[in-house]
Structure formats: C-alpha cells, structure tokens
Amino acid sequence: MSRLFLVRHGPTHAKCMVGWSDLPADLSDQARIAALSAYLPARARLISSDLSRTRATADALAAPGRQRLPEAPALREIHFGAWEMLSSAEIEARDPDLSRAYWTDPGEVAPPGGESWNAMAARSSAALDALMAEGGDVIAVCHFAVILGQVARHRAEAPREVLRHPVAPLSVTRIDYGPGGSPAGARIATLAHSEYITNIDGNQLK
C-alpha cells in the first residue's frame, strides 16, 4: 500500500480569495510544525506546489529521510482570475450571478480569467497519480481546493458536498492507495486538523 499525505500550507491570514497570488505562510508556530512533522512518515518523498507558502512549509517539514522533489506547478491552488485578492462581498457585488453559481454548484463554472473546479481537479489529480504510481509514501504540501478535490474524487462526492469538510492550515489529509499506487479503490483514511487526528466523520483517532 502507498500513502499520500496532503498537507495544507501554513496560514496566510488573508481575508480574501488567494489562489495563484504568491503570499507567504506564517510558520511561527514551531510546536505545531514539530507535531505535524512527527506525525508524517519519516521516510517519504516530499513535494510542494511552486508557490512560496507551500515551498516554505515543505522546507519546514524537511528531514533526512524525506526526499525533497522539485516543486510542481500542477499542485497550485485554484486560479481565481479577476477574483484574486477580493473578498466574498466584493466578488458578489462584481459578479452576483456568476459567483452564486460558482459556490452553489462548483464544477465547470469559472471566474473571469480564472479556472473551474474541474480544471483544477484534473491537473492536480494527474500530477498526484503520477507520483503515487512510483509507490511508497508521498507528502504533498498544497492548497485547500487541491486537497478537497482529492477528497471529492476518492469519496465520489460532488464538489459542493466536500466544501463542508474543514481543511485547516497545517492539517493533514491521508489517502491510502492500492497496489502499485493505483487510484482505483483509494480511500480517505484520515483528516487531521488542529491538534487532533480525526477521520472524515469527525471521530477522534489515536
């Protein structure tokens, strides 16, 4: 069995839509980072998107047994186009009908000049499947939408259904793959957030 550990980057503290904008992560909570690193496998390939908030988070999780791979642009956050760095209120005022459709039934709807949920999920899934096909454990430091895209995919849920799941900064979502890193039958094993490791239904695990 191969395991994929999807780690959300450290917080940016932004109160707006941050997709491809390159904001830094706050990595000042060293105790939290140490606990996260201790939970993750000691020997794994470690990869991040090419945005600085994920690169810096991955660097903070580097360890002698973890092989650092080149950054992967395919693991970037969803691209919000003209909505980048706008608040929800600003987006609704600018594009009321489009923004309503984007959040109530995400899929093919895209912001002006931006990217749809399905496009984001397709590019990130292809990159992650290629990594997992090589076998072994992988730690991928990436973004909110990328992580929930994988939850939706492997639980066969619509995007609107997975948006209710918490994916806190510096949390872990683990996906167990079958033999040979096959995505067929892969399952979400845990969501980890705050100081706790929980399953997807919210029950605390040891």
Residues 96-148 pLDDT 10s: 999 999 988 889 999 999 999 999 999 999 999 999 999 999 999 999 999 99
How many CA within 13 A on the CB side of residue 92? Answer: 7
- Cβ–Cβ < 8 Å for 181, 133: yes
Q: Which CATH number fits domain 2-198: 3.20.20.140, 3.30.565.10, 2.170.150.20, 3.40.50.1240?
A: 3.40.50.1240
Task: Say which residues have a Cβ less than 8 Å from residue 55's Cβ, sequence separation at least 6.
Answer: 48, 49, 71, 141
Place of tokens 């619509």: 158
Token pair for 6: 């999807």
Contacts for 94 with CB less than 8 Å, ≥ 6 apart: 82, 83, 86
Domain ranges of the chain: 2-198
Going by C-alpha positions, the residue among 90, 144, 96, 138 that lies closest to residue 117 is 144
| Token output for 139 | 């730690």
The pTM of this model reads: 0.92
DSSP structure string for 143-172: -HHHHHHHHHHHTT--HHHHTTS---TT-E
The predicted-structure confidence for 1-32, as pLDDT tens digits, reads as follows: 899 999 999 999 999 999 999 999 999 999 99
User: Which token pair is 143?
Assistant: 């973004």
Residue 105's pLDDT is what?
83
Residues 98/111, Cβ–Cβ less than 8 Å: yes
pLDDT recorded at residue 194: 53
Q: Residue 186 above 90 pLDDT?
A: no
Model pLDDT, residue 198: 46
- List b or e across 143-152, with b for residues whose CB sees 16 or more CB atoms inside 10 angstroms: bbbbbbbbbb
Amino acid at 127: A
Residue found under tokens 């096909």? 133
Contact in structure between 12 and 24 (CB atoms under 8 Å): yes
pLDDT score at 202? 42
As a whole number of angstroms, the distance between CA 175 and CA 172 comes to: 10
**pLDDT tens-place string over residues 62-93:** 999 999 999 999 999 999 999 999 999 999 99
pLDDT tens by residue, 138-170: 999 999 999 999 999 998 899 889 888 888 899
